[in-house]
Each structure stands twice: as C-alpha cells, then as structure tokens.
Structure 1
Amino acid sequence: MWRCAGVFGMLLLIAGCQSTHEDLIAKGYPPAFADGFDDGCSSGRQAAGAITGGFKKDVPRYLKDAQYAEGWSDGFRQCQAMRESEDRGDYQNRYLNERDRAWQQEKDQGEARAYRSQ
C-alpha cells in the first residue's frame, strides 16, 4: 500500500512540474496561443492585485497574430478571475475561522458555567 502511495505521489510531483505553456501545447493548442496565454495570465494576476509577475503583452504580435491575441485575452480573463476568487476565499476563510473560534469559546464558557453551577 505504501509503495502505491509513493508511486502516486511521484506521478503527482512529475505532473505538477509541467508549465501551463507546455500543458496547452500538449493539449493541442498552437504555440502562439500558449505564448499569449502565459503573457495574458501574468497580466491578469497583476491586474487583480498580485504582487508577483507583471503586465506582459507583446503589442505588435497581439495586433498581428490572432492566435496570440486570443490566448492573451483568455489568459488574462481566466487568471484575473482566479486571483480575485482566491482573494475572496482568503477573506471568507479568515472570517469564518474567527466566527468558529468565537463560537467555540462561547460554547466552552457556557459548559464551564454549567459545571460550576452543579
């Protein structure tokens, strides 16, 4: 069983090393689309407030190469939305965790009061 888990873990590790660019090409997308997607994704994350990465756009290529332009637009929209979703999730998780802690504390205090009154 441990051997199977180890093999599965190695497969996940190897699969995780493939870049988005390589993954798109492996799925049959043209290299120009994959290039545009990478640049657009970096730009979309930056537009959504990410500290790392930055705005990337090969403007002459964007204007002349429809596949690059389509990839850039897709990458920008998808990565911007994903980054914004992650930010909302972080806020919700923090808020819910604070509510859970407050509820647990209230429950523990109520239980302590009940034991003391016996």
Structure 2
Amino acid sequence: MWRYAVMLGAVLWLSGCQTTHQELIAKGYPPAFADGFDDGCSSGRQAAGVISGEFRKNVPRYLKEREYAAGWEDGFRQCKAMREHEELRDYIDNRGDYRERAWQREKDRDAARAYRDQ
C-alpha cells in the first residue's frame, strides 16, 4: 500500500514540474502555439528589461504558421506585462522604504543641527 502512496506522490510531484510548453500542450494547445508562446515569453521578458531573457522569434515560422504567430504574440504580451507588473509592485513596496529612509535622514539632520546649535 505504501508503494502506491509513494508512486502517487512522485507522480504528483513530477506533474508540478511541467514547463509552460508542456502545460500548454497538456491543456490542448497545438505544439506550434506552445513553441511560439515560449519564444514570445522569453522575448517579452527581455523587452521588459530582464537580463536573463533573450529575444527569440523564428521569423520564417512566424510568417508562415498562424498558430506559432498567435502563440508568440500571446507569450510576448503576457510575459512582458507580468514582468512590468512585478517591477511596479516592487517599486510600490519599496517606495515606503524610501520614504522611511528619507524621514530618518531628515530626523538625523535636525537632531545634528539641534546638538550643534546648543
């Protein structure tokens, strides 16, 4: 019985390791769409400023295969927007830290002025 539990756990664990490409195919998308999505996503992340992203586009395939082109466009748009949203969220989260540091610097300067003027 425990063997089945271990095997089920292994299957569930491995299924959680699917790439986006594998996940799209498992959901019924054509392989050409999944290929285009992968390339477009990498390109979108690169366009949004991710250092590890690289621009990838199979231009002859993009021009000839509608499914690849649709996948590339969707991947580019979604991954670029997701990365830009992450950057905005990081900026908003860190803005409070910036304000806190600025307030602390101003407080320290005022205290130094007060001690100096005594």
TM-score clears 0.5: yes
Larger radius of gyration: 2
Are the structure 2 counterparts of residues 92 and 57 from structure 1 closer, same or farther at C-alpha, using a change threshold of 3 Å? same
Matched residue type, 1:69: A
Match of 2:87 in 1: 87
Structure 1 residue aligned with 2:23:
23
* TM-fit CA distance, 1:10: 7.6
- Superposed structure 1 runs of 4+ greater than 2 Å apart: 9-16, 96-103
Distance 1:71 1:90, change over 3 A: same
Q: How do 1:1-118 residues align onto structure 2 when only pairs under 5 Å count?
A: 14-99=14-99
What RMSD, in angstroms, separates the aligned Cα atoms of the two structures? 2.5
Cα 1:47–1:26 change in 2 (3 A) is same
Q: How many residues align?
A: 95
CA distance in 1, matches of 2:91, 2:80: 17
Percent identical pairs in the alignment equals: 67
- In structure 2, the gaps of 5 or more residues are 1-8, 104-118
| Partner deviation per Cα, 1:27-68 (whole Å, 9 max, x = no partner) | 000000000000000000000111002100000000000000
Q: Which runs of 5+ in 1 are unaligned?
A: 1-8, 104-118
Q: Shift of residue 93 of structure 1?
A: 0.9
